[in-house]
Amino acid sequence: MLPMMLVISIVMGIVPLLGIAWTIVTGTVATVDGLFMSLILLTLSAVFFLNAFWELRDRGALAFLHKKKVAAETTPKVTTKATTSVAPKATANVATANLAPVSKDATPKESES
């Protein structure tokens, strides 16, 4: 037996969709009012369907959606440790040639031109 909150959420999610169908049938969807009414009704429908989704998820009715995760978690992961006998090469710090020479005077000199 479905809980009453789930039934109410599904019904209240369908009613705004019927309102959108009504605006399409009457031709008012082409107006600005019809467009905004459709957006508001879609938002209402999404909120109620999201509530129904959460209700179903909490009751475990959507467990088939997580079947792949459960199967992946139950299989043991086999890892092998690879060891190498070659030591890593040491890298030398190489200064770039594009660096400006360091001046001994802390104050910058004005160019004479």
Q: What pLDDT score was predicted for residue 72? A: 57
CA distance 12 to 69: 32
Q: What pLDDT score was predicted for residue 90? A: 63
Could you tell me the mean pLDDT of each successive run of 10 residues in the chain, 113 residues long? 86 96 94 96 97 88 69 63 65 58 64 63
Q: What pLDDT score was predicted for residue 109? A: 66
Q: What pLDDT score was predicted for residue 61? A: 76
Global pTM?
0.54
CB of 52 within 8 A of CB of 14?
no
